[in-house]
């Protein structure tokens, strides 16, 4: 299992939200580049970069941050937040993203999931499937749809989608631990998919729990930023 550190950007700073609530955030003093370089120095190879300003405004806001990290580190960066059209996707790739997370965008028009695969390829796109009470949430997690996580994943998988970032919003930022009962059924139902999980990770034990679920990768943010897990500890998970 790959472990992917997360950096969330809001107002130019690195922050973490509690359960996706913009008004409940923790702000960290180090710059995104300082944090990314620390990850890189520890041998970490991947980074999950979230443009919270973009998620809130409906357009990418922190492409310059993405470009800075892509230019000054060797990290493989997946970027998301505020991607609402094909132009935004291209802008993210031009700024240095290796993969782009698509969530709200996939709900805007029926043909977009299939068209996006045709335009950009399955290896470069990640379907961001964010779960709120078992249903997919969009628009920066502020709006809950009527689609179930499993149902939506099955529909996209049928089109050829391979990468899925599935977040349990109820656990995100809480450091209360992930829920294996949330991820294990998804891995069992979709054994051929590369499922990336996260939400609530606060220790190496929590990461081992996610690994036992059979996930392709796990995302952790707050635990690293607050020193609950050190970047060096992740060496047992790091893969090229």
CB 125 within 8 A of CB 118: no
How far is it, in rounded angstroms, from Cα 6 to Cα 50?
A: 7
**Domains observed in the chain:** 2-236 (3.20.20.70)
How far is it, in rounded angstroms, from Cα 229 to Cα 98?
A: 25
| pLDDT tens readout for residues 24-69 | 556 766 899 999 999 999 999 999 999 999 988 899 999 999 999 9
Active-site residue, from 8, 51, 53, 168: 8
- Told to judge if 179 belongs to the known catalytic residues of this protein, a careful annotator would answer no
Residue 101 confidence class, pLDDT cut points 50, 70, 90: very high
Percent of the chain with pLDDT over 90: 64
Residue 226 confidence class, pLDDT cut points 50, 70, 90: confident
Rg (CA), the chain: 16
Q: Which of 131, 179, 129, 178 is closest to 154 using CA atoms?
A: 129
Answer yes or no: is pLDDT of 107 > 90.
Answer: no
178 versus 162: which is more confidently predicted? 162
Q: What is the DSSP letter of 235?
A: G
- Told to judge if 123 belongs to the known catalytic residues of this protein, a careful annotator would answer no
Active-site residue, from 51, 53, 78, 130: 130
Lowest pLDDT segment from 12-16, 124-128, 144-148, 204-208: 12-16
- Regarding pTM above 0.75, the answer is yes
User: Looking at residue 236, what is its pLDDT?
Assistant: 81
Answer yes or no: is pLDDT of 154 > 90.
Answer: yes
CB 135 within 8 A of CB 144: yes
User: Looking at residue 26, what is its pLDDT?
Assistant: 61
User: Looking at residue 145, what is its pLDDT?
Assistant: 87
């Amino acid at each position: 299992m790959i472990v992917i550190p997360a950096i969330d950007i809001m107002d130019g700073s690195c922050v973490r939200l509690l359960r996706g609530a913009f008004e409940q955030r923790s702000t960290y003093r180090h710059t995104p580049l300082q944090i990314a370089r620390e990850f890189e120095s520890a041998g970490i190879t991947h980074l999950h970069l979230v443009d919270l300003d973009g998620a809130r405004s409906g357009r990418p806001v922190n492409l310059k941050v993405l470009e800075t990290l892509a230019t000054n580190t060797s990290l493989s960066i997946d970027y998301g937040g505020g991607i609402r059209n094909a132009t935004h996707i291209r802008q993210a790739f031009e700024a240095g993203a290796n993969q782009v997370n698509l969530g709200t965008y996939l709900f805007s028009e029926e043909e977009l999931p299939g068209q996006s695969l045709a335009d950009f390829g399955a290896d470069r796109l990640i379907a961001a499937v964010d779960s709120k009470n078992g249903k997919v949430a969009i628009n920066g997690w502020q709006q809950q749809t009527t689609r179930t996580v499993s149902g939506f994943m099955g529909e996209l998988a049928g089109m050829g989608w391979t990468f899925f970032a599935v977040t349990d919003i109820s656990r995100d930022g809480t450091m209360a631990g992930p829920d294996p009962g949330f991820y294990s059924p998804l891995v069992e139902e979709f054994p051929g998919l590369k499922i990336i999980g996260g939400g609530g990770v606060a220790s190496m034990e929590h990461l081992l729990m996610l690994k036992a679920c059979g996930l392709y990768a796990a995302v952790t943010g707050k635990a690293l930023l607050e020193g609950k897990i050190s970047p060096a500890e992740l060496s047992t998970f790091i893969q090229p």
